[in-house]
Structure 1
């Protein structure tokens, strides 16, 4: 009983000494988290009104959010009576060890910063990078998220993007659709060219500046091949691609121009 009484008294003393600090630290954490949330929300609304780029908004807000949370944690720890300088030294040592272990993550962070500075792409752009093609959904601190044409989510490290080749199909505001359509050798080349060009000119989704073009690109084994090149807005690429194929076939059929196809000839041997 005496031992239990001693432990009880000891617990009371600890509660008196550290209880107020613990309660204060908890209150600081709760209030600080609420304040940070409100600050980030206000900053986001200000950026939205200022028409900042969406990708830059998210990147900066994430960076500020994590920075403020780190300061809040340090403040809470100092309120508990832990020596912040000693804690900072421990954090620095741990940070060095973690940094060496996570060099890839640090390079991804640096890559994210470079992407924000040089802006090779932004949210909504259609790009090709690291063997992946898709629309940029989000640019985060360490990664960039793409939505592929097959509606799949691709997550690419920013370090690889910052140091690799990037093809931005949206940057110039237009894309060229590359199609090859062949006609028979006995057909009139000039007539076929006029028919194909009329298909492009009559499509409202095809841009007229730069002008679409139809040119002989190859004399194949069984066909004269035309390079059919319409330009369009990036978001209309696949619509123009499929519509041009269909309309060219219909127009050539209507003009009586043959599109050759492979013929198989069966040779029968008499016994």
Structure 2
């Protein structure tokens, strides 16, 4: 404090509070108009999304691309509405001033939201590419399920056991994704073992005839039956066929194929042996009998 000069801090504080209150009262009309602009933005966004949905539903656009169009329309309208509301509510506000004011803070924000931006870009690229549509059965990083929804940040995968897994888009974009339903049909296989004393030519013919009785197998694709290897107790045949690529169809067709093969081999008298294990000992085994057990046997 300068000698002889007395500062009235209470009066200065009151003056600043009064000035802030007066400024707040002055911008109340602007705030009201800004709120109205946000409300109109909400209405326009809903209306625009409905129009976009009607237009895209009439086309042959994929479901994930339709969602991308709706998201971009909604996001664009909200960005314009929020910018207009800020211009009305804050006198002197401009988009260029906002960008310039961020300065180094923009770099910090970029690092902080790196994962969000990465997933956002990955989501756009996933939606734009032709493969992996909604409804496809996929397997990625040990997760096997059906794609239910793709957003700009994450993908919803419903596993076959009915659990829902939400995966970041960057995981699906960076890692190998197996699309099991990319084609309408998919190959399946089973190993069939026959006894060593069986006629292999006859066994192969019986298996082929049995597979032809399975209705779910795609008829225009070949049925492959090959003797593969000498097993521990059987000669193993590899049986391959094509069926509809849906997971339920694959399981059902495999079940019908196994039943048909078993029925055909039984009718032909060809045995499907149990696993047999042979033990070899370096020295002959001695079998000892106790006198008590011998007397009890007598």
TM-score strictly above 0.5? yes
Given candidates 40, 50, 53, the residue that maps to 1:31 is 40
Task: Name structure 2 gaps, 5 residues minimum.
Answer: 1-10, 280-284, 290-298
Distance 1:268 1:243 in 2: 50
Q: Tell me whether 1:107 sits opposite 2:125 in the alignment.
A: no
Instruction: Tell me the residue number matched to 1:238.
Output: 251
| 1:50 Cα deviation after fit | 1.0
| CA deviation vs aligned residue, 1:148-179 (integer Å, no higher than 9, x gap) | 22222222222222222222222232110121
Seen in structure 2, the aligned counterparts of structure 1 residues 103 and 148 have a Cα distance that, compared at 3 Å, is: same
| 1:53 Cα deviation after fit | 0.3
* Partner SS for 1:177: strand
| CA deviation vs aligned residue, 1:40-86 (integer Å, no higher than 9, x gap) | 12101210111210011112322332232222212111110241343
Q: Tell me whether 1:127 sits opposite 2:138 in the alignment.
A: yes
Instruction: Tell me the residue number matched to 2:288.
Output: 270
Given candidates 27, 35, 50, the residue that maps to 1:18 is 27
TM-score (structure 2 length as normaliser) = 0.79
Instruction: Tell me the residue number matched to 1:175.
Output: 186
Indicate if the aligned counterparts of 1:135 and 1:148 stay in contact, CA closer than 8 A. yes
Indicate if the aligned counterparts of 1:138 and 1:144 stay in contact, CA closer than 8 A. yes
Instruction: Tell me the residue number matched to 2:225.
Output: 214
* Partner SS for 2:90: coil
Given candidates 219, 222, 226, the residue that maps to 2:237 is 226
| 1:146 Cα deviation after fit | 1.6
Given candidates 134, 148, 154, the residue that maps to 1:143 is 154
Number of equivalences: 268
Q: After the TM superposition, which residues 30-69 of structure 1 pair with which residues of structure 2 at under 5 Å, given as runs?
A: 30-69=39-78
Indicate if the aligned counterparts of 1:125 and 1:169 stay in contact, CA closer than 8 A. yes
Give the stretch that moved more between structures: 66-75 or 261-270: 261-270
Task: Name structure 1 gaps, 5 residues minimum.
Answer: none
Seen in structure 2, the aligned counterparts of structure 1 residues 10 and 100 have a Cα distance that, compared at 3 Å, is: closer
Instruction: Tell me the residue number matched to 1:156.
Output: 167
| CA deviation vs aligned residue, 1:79-128 (integer Å, no higher than 9, x gap) | 10241343343457544322212322222222223223332311112222
Seen in structure 2, the aligned counterparts of structure 1 residues 123 and 166 have a Cα distance that, compared at 3 Å, is: same
TM-score (structure 1 length as normaliser) = 0.86
Distance 1:73 1:145 in 2: 29
